[in-house]
Structure 1
């Protein structure tokens, strides 16, 4: 979506907010919650066929899971926005060679999972449903998948042993703020969006910050974040590290937000084998 079109849509929603604020909020949240990409292409489908596939249901959302059987601990891989389980291919192959039992999932509205919308709160509950059924001892989450994993573990006080966060945001409020700035929404739309979250999730977006979703996490943590991450600021990693007491922060430079790199994988293996 080009910048001119984005600003045009933003102006239309701003105008609508003066007449129908609830409808404007609904449209703004829908745009924010609808991934433009992340569905599986043929190459990705072919690779994922090497896994044992199963679908589990959370409420009315079908979540596709992938399992590569191994003899060691079960590791759950949780991807981020506009991605899917295939993003873990390189790490999966490394973990397979180490004989780990590996699981990956597709988020709501991504990959081969159901739903037309995505939000981090919904994702966290889907992650909880998967953890409850398969009981992984380790969870590795990238970007918003990491934050949603932390939220799931915290909210349900899960006995996960290790949690690895790769390029994860420390709060949802900042993610929404970035979206608001991109669209150019006025204060009326922002207020309506906040009220929408309060109505549907019970909290304003600013509630979902690391101070509030790390208190019940007892898992040993590893945080890896790139100093020059242009998607999620390195400040977020510092923020998480401050409140996630049982964790270690590793800074990389020049690996970007994706963190698909041998150095990162070596840090992960060292942490898993410790």
Structure 2
């Protein structure tokens, strides 16, 4: 059923493309950029309420941040698609036990942040805002949070950022778009229109947004963690990163999937941030 619904929507959008490829492309982009917000459970709200909560503004979008104070280095946590800051709960508890200063943010159109649309470029600007506000030295990004983190550091090259940890991160926009197009079953007219709209909005073609290639310019130490059997972001994306991100190490897991939620993964992270 989960596979049938996207294909059915794709059929409708493809039909629209027969009359207006532009209209079809706009609808496809809107769907691609519109995450579903997950309703927080009471126990999740209670955990987030243990933080100092502060909202920042980026381009009229309210960005919610959560701070757990500590005396050690400041670590920023950037979640992925259709997630929110509570996804880091177990790791936050471990980092707090080691007295790290921990910051988490909700991405635009996610969690308690404002906005209705989302993309990695906007997310990278929000990460920049939060890093500068709280002077984060270490950034941990999951999935598109890892991609956005790479976009941010490639663009701003902040010398204060010493370490990046990318968990199951997609290496390039083209692969992400191709998987989306395949999932929806879009025809060539719709697909071309999507590419045209991306170029108009960002003044670059989708292939320009290659996080792996961007990482070649990053001096900060990197830790890449990716599951060999990740069904959301293929393991080949991690290999792409490793080819370009010279100052990084790759840890391959098996059986933790795209979420990479496990004590073993947390242990790799804690070891990396403490050395």
Partner of 1:100: 100
Equivalent residue for 2:36?
Answer: 36
TM superposition score normalised by structure 2: 0.96
Select between 182-191 and 199-208 the one with higher mean Cα deviation. Answer: 199-208
Q: Answer yes or no: is 1:235 the counterpart of 2:266.
A: no
State the match for 1:13 in structure 2.
Answer: 13
Residue of structure 1 in register with 2:110 after alignment: 110
Question: Alpha-carbon deviations, 1:117-162, whole Å to 9, x = none?
Answer: 1111111111111112111000000011011111111111122100
Kindly indicate whether the alpha-carbon contact (under 8 Å) linking 1:223 and 1:248 is maintained by their aligned counterparts in 2: yes
Q: What is the Cα-based RMSD across aligned positions, in Å? A: 1.3
Cα deviation, residue 203, structure 1: 1.2
Where 2:217 maps in the other structure, the secondary structure is coil
Deviates more, 1:154-163 or 1:70-79: 154-163
Q: What is the Cα deviation at residue 39 of structure 1? A: 4.3
Name the residue aligned to 2:125.
125
The equivalent residue for 1:183 is: 184
Deviation at 1:211, TM superposition (A): 4.7
Unaligned 5+ runs, structure 2: none
Are residues 1:59 and 2:50 paired?
Answer: no
Which deviates the most, 113-122 or 34-43? Answer: 34-43
Count, aligned residues: 274
> What TM-score comes out, normalization by structure 1 length?
0.97
Q: 1:184 deviation in Å?
A: 0.6
**Is the CA contact (8 Å cut-off) linking 1:78 and 1:105 kept in structure 2?**
yes
1:157 aligned residue = 157
1:40 positional shift: 2.8
Q: Residue in 1 aligned with 2:216?
A: 215
* Other structure's SS at 2:146 match: helix
Q: What is the Cα deviation at residue 42 of structure 1?
A: 2.6
Cα distance in 2 between the residues matched to 1:85 and 1:65: 9
Instruction: For residue 224 of structure 1, report the CA deviation from its aligned partner.
Output: 0.7
CA offsets 1:63-85 (integer angstroms, 9 cap, x no match): 10000000000000000001000
Whether 1:225 aligns to 2:226 is yes
1:229-249 deviations in whole A, cap 9, x for unaligned? 111111111110110000011
